[in-house]
Structure 1
Amino acid sequence: MYILCDWLQWSFRYILDSACFELFFKFVELPNFDVASDAFSTFKDLLSKHDTIVAEYLTAHYSEFFDLYDKLLTSPNYVTRRQSVKLLSEFLFEPPNSSIMKRFILEVHYLKVMMTLLKDSSKTIQIYAFHIFKVFVANPNKPQEVKMILARNHEKLVELLIDLSVGKGSEDEQFEEEKEMIIKEIVRLSRVPNLLNG
Structure 2
Amino acid sequence: MSFSFFKPSRPRSPQEVAKAIKDSLTALDTKTVVEVKALEKALEEVDKNFGIMRCMLCGEGDTEPNADQVSQLVQEICKEDIIALLVHKLMILGWEARKDLVYCWSILLKQKVGSTYCCVEYIENHLELLDFIVVCYDNKEIALTCGNMLRECIKFPTLAKYILESASFELFFKFVELPNFDVASDAFSTFKDLLTKHGTVVCEYLTAHYDEFFDSYEKLLTSTNYVTRRQSLKLLSDFLLEPPNSNIMKRYILEVRHLKVMMTLLKDSSKNIQISAFHIFKVFVANPNKPREIKVILTKNHEKLLELLHSLSAGKGAEDEQFEEEKELIIKEIARVSRLPVLEC
Q: TM-score, normalised by structure 1?
A: 0.94
Q: Are 2:162 and 1:14 aligned?
A: yes
1:92 to 217, 240, 247: 240
2:278 to 130, 140, 158: 130
2:328 to 180, 187, 192: 180
In the alignment, the residues of structure 2 paired with residue 178 and residue 73 of structure 1 have an alpha-carbon distance, to the nearest angstrom, of: 23
- Structure 1 runs of 4+ aligned residues shifted over 4 Å read none
In the alignment, the residues of structure 2 paired with residue 124 and residue 90 of structure 1 have an alpha-carbon distance, to the nearest angstrom, of: 15
Q: Are 2:259 and 1:111 aligned?
A: yes
Aligned to 2:153: none
Instruction: For CA contacts below 8 A with separation 6 or more, give which structure has more relative contact order.
Output: 1
Aligned to 1:24: 172
In the alignment, the residues of structure 1 paired with residue 280 and residue 163 of structure 2 have an alpha-carbon distance, to the nearest angstrom, of: 27
In the alignment, the residues of structure 2 paired with residue 11 and residue 3 of structure 1 have an alpha-carbon distance, to the nearest angstrom, of: 15
Aligned to 1:34: 182
In the alignment, the residues of structure 1 paired with residue 221 and residue 175 of structure 2 have an alpha-carbon distance, to the nearest angstrom, of: 15
In the alignment, the residues of structure 2 paired with residue 129 and residue 174 of structure 1 have an alpha-carbon distance, to the nearest angstrom, of: 16
Aligned to 1:67: 215
Cα deviation for residue 3 of structure 1 reads 3.5
Cα deviation for residue 9 of structure 1 reads 1.8
Cα deviation for residue 190 of structure 1 reads 1.1
Aligned to 1:156: 304
In the alignment, the residues of structure 2 paired with residue 39 and residue 56 of structure 1 have an alpha-carbon distance, to the nearest angstrom, of: 22
In the alignment, the residues of structure 2 paired with residue 17 and residue 145 of structure 1 have an alpha-carbon distance, to the nearest angstrom, of: 32
Q: TM-score, normalised by structure 2?
A: 0.54
Highest Rg: 1 or 2? 2
Q: Which range moves more in the overlay, 6-15 or 84-93?
A: 6-15
Residue ranges of structure 2 left out of the alignment (5+ in a row) = 1-111, 125-155, 341-345
- The amino acid that maps onto 1:44 is K
- The amino acid that maps onto 2:229 is R
Report percent identity of matched pairs.
76
Aligned to 2:88: none
In the alignment, the residues of structure 2 paired with residue 88 and residue 12 of structure 1 have an alpha-carbon distance, to the nearest angstrom, of: 18
- The amino acid that maps onto 2:330 is I
Q: CA RMSD in A?
A: 1.4
In the alignment, the residues of structure 2 paired with residue 178 and residue 36 of structure 1 have an alpha-carbon distance, to the nearest angstrom, of: 34
Equivalenced residue count is 192
